[in-house]
Amino acid sequence: MTVVGIATGTSSEMSAPAPQAGAAPVYSSPIAAPVSAPADNAKAQNIQVTEKALKRIRSAMAKENVNGEQGGLRVGITGGGCSGLSYNIRFDTQPRERDRVYVYNQNGDKVQIFVDPKSFLYLSGMTLDFEETLMRQGFNFINPHSTKSCGCGSSFSA
């Protein structure tokens, strides 16, 4: 599994700040370079996305006519499900004021992921992957905060 690193900021910080001196890049693949420089402890707070997941998000955005320059994928949690909290993803036309915005650039294609502050508490450090097998096709949430999850993987407790 190849993990792609990302840049993060709130929607009001979307202009690219100057890189911090001595800050190491967070990405592990040259495929998607961050738009802005992350803080030193950003890796622990980032949401990582694998190349397979990024490719699937791009494909779905194209089918849904979502503009990568303004819109993106909203990843969050809601109360409910068999384990207490459920993951949800949907497309959104723009980030909300307090969202954390993760930006990916690859071959001129821009993908943004929006996370609200409440969901970020449960999703920081998570890896979003995409799995496609004979039995199952869908996104996998690999979450270090999850203490228990259901059989289908769509809900968890922290």
- Going by the DSSP 8-state scheme, the letter that residue 123 receives in this structure is H
Give residue 140's pLDDT.
87
Report yes or no: 102 and 8 within 8 Å, Cβ to Cβ.
Answer: yes
- DSSP 3-state assignment of 156? strand
Give the C-alpha separation, 115 to 153, whole Å. Answer: 19
Model confidence band, residue 19 (pLDDT cutoffs 50, 70, 90): very low
| pLDDT tens string 20-79 | 334 333 333 323 433 433 344 455 568 888 889 999 999 999 999 998 888 999 999 988
Check if CATH label 2.60.300.12 holds for domain 3-157.
Answer: yes
Q: What is the pLDDT of residue 119?
A: 92
- For residues 152 and 132, give the distance between their C-alpha atoms in angstroms, rounded to a whole number: 14
Q: What is the spatial distance between Cα 64 and Cα 44, in angstroms, rounded to a whole number?
A: 32
Domain boundaries, the chain: 3-157
The model scores a pTM over 0.75: no
Task: Write the burial class of residue 148 (CB in 10 Å: 0-12 exposed, 13-18 middle, 19+ buried).
Answer: exposed
Round the average pLDDT of the chain to a whole number and report it: 73
* Range of lowest pLDDT (61-65, 104-108, 118-122): 104-108
Q: What is the mean pLDDT of residues 91-97?
A: 94
